[in-house]
Structure 1
Amino acid sequence: MKKKLFIIATVLILVLSAVTVTACNTDEKLFNAFVEKLQTGYQAGTLQTKRTTAIGETLLAETSVNYTFAENGSATVQTTVRKLNENPVEGETYLESTQTSDLTADEAKEVFFDVSKISKDNFLKGQYTLSTEKTQSTLTFTASSAEKMFGVTTEEAQRISDIQVTVCVENDKLASLQITYKLDTATTVTFTATYAY
């Protein structure tokens, strides 16, 4: 099973509100080192992603995907889905399921970030320009469809607003991405990805 994170289907390219991009804990040396690692290829490490949908304080759904990468480039993927039970019985507020799969080295390559052309105008293309006082760089996220990354349907894509993107290069071994957006005034979606390498 192919697990491709980080591209959004061009069919979903729509006019959206402005994207707010923040780079935190990012100095020029760390950020450039991180970009260089991504350009030269993945390394053994872990990538953890989580997508949550909530109305106020009520969690509606949560999908967690954990990738463990081996030295030869292959990966083991564990996906856990929690959903609010629409017909709950006592003690069963959420329904949960987990599945495990394996990726070949070629499939695993498509999980990783690609550093490419500068643009921050199109959220659904997943292109963001990150600016700090010392440096400006662009991360381009690639994958097969919006649903792979966010679970965004065509109908949802037309409702997206208030997009906030935060990228942190914490140190020379840890980087993280968080994207938050609203589907309406009450419903918020948060996507987080943490890469330890």
Structure 2
Amino acid sequence: MEGWILEKNQESLKKFLYEKYKELEIVFSNPGKNDDIPVYLNNNQFVEPFESVTELYGIPQYTEFDPTPLFAPFYFIFFGMCLSDAGYGLIITFLSYFALVKFKFEGIAKKFFGLFFLGGISTFFIGAAMGSWMGDTVNYFPESMQPIRNFLVDKVTLLNPIENPMPLLVISLILGVIQIYTGFIIKFVANVKEKKITMG
């Protein structure tokens, strides 16, 4: 019997098998050039949920570069910009966190709810910066809550895309250009490493 395992899991596999079987020989070897090596994406807790986005476009091959860490910040920001409402952000964050803690998801489900948890955080902060709290709910606060309304609108709000959309359009354009050129650079470096100089 043969199969693939991460190098860091070799000892735990040996321990598990030796506890189950008395007569057993285990041999580990490095992959050959012609082997079809499976891919395991290894990222930190912040980046891991965004692997689900990378997987939508196809997992990189064993010898290729994993773009997830570089594109995760863009997805994080764009998620918040698309919803851009602090109230919705809080709801998404708490519901996703509750699901992760309550049901102890693993694999794809864990990444899915982790993505929405981080997206909810982004939505909250960007929504707060744009003065959006469940739409324009703060404008209908009773007189007793006016200090809260004034704080959220006058102190927290940095951009008002309704009254002045141009700053937000400029920010979106800049982020889009940065993301596109980041992709170009990644592809260039990958081609150079693979000695595809003319394609790089």
Q: TM-score, normalised by structure 2?
A: 0.22
Q: TM-score, normalised by structure 1?
A: 0.22
Choose between structure 1 and 2: higher helix proportion: 2
Instruction: Compare relative contact order (CA 8 Å, sep 6+) and give the higher one, 1 or 2.
Output: 1
Larger Rg: 2
